């Protein structure tokens, strides 16, 4: 896999070296065991996979190259390039402006844009309607397009399903940028409906089987489907694709459930004509991070720190997995760790910030899981780790400890 040129301040001198060591030790990524950094009174446990993925590094490289190659030009980001406040704030500090917020609400008027302006499409992609609006202004929406290749893979598979007369079911959050983009591209060629979870998939299955009246479809999915969607006709042949940041296991469970529904309605022999296999659209990076997080659940630890943007879907799913076993704190970075007694963290279920006292146990050694989402720079984890170490006496030098591991690996 190719390497990308991204600003050095996103690269980590500590945790990045541990990741590089694991890559040398396990180039085929078959070993999901976490990495343990033992610093005496504090032990950090790192997931095998975390941090920037291929799509994020690709987006960062394109964005900073646009800055470098277009001095003096006005440069805009259609919306948040990725869901990480540190990265977006850094881009803004270089003079970039956002056109929309993460929910698609305008932050400026379209009339302010001129044909010679640079507009960068975020890693989540954008809708066909927005592409058309940019073209009408005279801006090529594909010239600085950072859409993740794995998102585009979902779009291509959805288009293929449309040509084969399948209805596309998108597993995703309807308000999320990526899902809005996927819906737009898919709806151009196929009837489309969005389901957010297994509960909605089960309701859709009951409608297919006639266990719920078709009128229930409009009530439950009327705002999340293509205009004129007819459940009696448009749910006879289906395929499931996903928002790439959703839990891969949940997407697969939804697909498996709906496959069983089609088998029950049409018989086992007809399932090949009624249900499309789309497992190849699941994002490898999301899968790797989630599989590595599941391996963390087999470990013993006192708490977990998950670092990332609060609007990051893939990060919230890591939190969801970890908090089933450990006291888990979802933070943007080291600033939320106010002291050894107080931490500010995000409750993504309630969508609000909370303060917790006595979050760092007094016991020694204390074992802390530290991981992040796919849009989080490794440097943020360095800073979080160093902030925690500042509250504990007698810790070993983390630089020396990392160097010892790295040197041992090269012997």
Contact 206, 240 (CB under 8 A): no
Give the Cα separation of 264 and 271 in Å (integer). Answer: 9
Q: Which residues contact 397 (CB under 8 A, 6 or more apart)?
A: none
Q: Which residues contact 83 (CB under 8 A, 6 or more apart)?
A: 102, 308, 309, 311, 312, 313, 315, 373, 375
Peptide bond preceding 365: is omega within 30 degrees of 0, i.e. cis? yes
Give the Cα separation of 361 and 343 in Å (integer). Answer: 12
Give the Cα separation of 320 and 330 in Å (integer). Answer: 10
Cα dist. 40→17, 183, 223, 269, 394 in Å? Answer: 20, 51, 55, 61, 7
Q: Quick one: how far is CA 218 from the chain centroid?
A: 29
CB-CB neighbours of 376 under 10 Å: 29
86 is catalytic: no
Out of 57, 86, 177, 178, pick the active-site residue: 178
Active-site positions read: 178
């Amino acid at each position: 896999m190719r390497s990308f040129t991204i600003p050095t301040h996103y690269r980590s001198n500590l945790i990045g070296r541990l990741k590089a060591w694991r890559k040398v030790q396990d180039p085929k990524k078959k070993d999901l065991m976490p990495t343990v950094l033992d610093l005496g009174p504090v032990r950090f446990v790192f997931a095998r996979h975390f941090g920037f993925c291929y799509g994020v590094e690709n987006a960062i490289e394109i964005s900073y190259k646009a800055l470098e190659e277009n001095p003096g030009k006005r440069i805009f980001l259609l919306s948040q390039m990725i869901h990480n406040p540190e990265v977006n704030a850094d881009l803004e500090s270089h003079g970039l402006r956002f056109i929309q917020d993460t929910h698609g609400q305008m932050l400026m008027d379209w009339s302010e844009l001129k044909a010679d302006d640079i507009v960068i499409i975020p890693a989540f992609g954008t809708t066909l309607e927005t592409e058309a609006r940019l073209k009408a202004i005279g801006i090529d929406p594909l010239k600085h397009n950072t859409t993740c290749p794995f998102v585009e893979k979902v779009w291509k598979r959805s288009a293929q399903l449309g040509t084969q007369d399948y209805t596309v079911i998108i597993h995703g959050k309807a308000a999320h940028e990526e899902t809005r983009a996927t819906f737009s591209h898919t709806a151009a060629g196929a009837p489309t409906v969005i389901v957010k979870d297994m509960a909605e998939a089960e309701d859709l299955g009951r409608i297919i089987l006639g266990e719920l009246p078709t009128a229930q479809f409009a009530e439950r999915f009327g705002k999340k489907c293509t205009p004129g969607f007819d459940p009696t006709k448009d749910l006879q042949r289906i395929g499931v694709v996903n928002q790439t940041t959703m839990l891969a296991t949940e997407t697969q469970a939804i697909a498996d459930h709906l496959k069983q529904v089609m088998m029950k309605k049409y018989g086992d022999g007809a399932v090949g004509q009624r249900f499309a296999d789309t497992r190849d659209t699941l994002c490898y990076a999301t899968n790797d991070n989630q599989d590595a997080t599941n391996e963390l659940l087999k470990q013993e630890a006192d708490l977990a720190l998950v670092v990332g943007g609060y609007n990051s879907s893939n990060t919230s799913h890591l939190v969801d997995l970890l908090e089933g076993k450990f006291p888990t704190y979802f933070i943007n970075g080291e600033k939320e760790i106010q002291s050894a007694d107080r931490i500010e963290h995000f409750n993504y279920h309630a969508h609000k910030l909370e303060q917790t006292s006595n979050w760092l146990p007094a016991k020694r050694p204390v074992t802390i899981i530290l991981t992040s989402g796919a849009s989080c720079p490794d440097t943020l984890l360095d800073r979080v780790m160093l902030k925690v170490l500042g509250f504990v006496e007698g810790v070993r030098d983390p630089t020396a400890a990392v160097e010892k591991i790295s040197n041992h690996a090269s012997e």
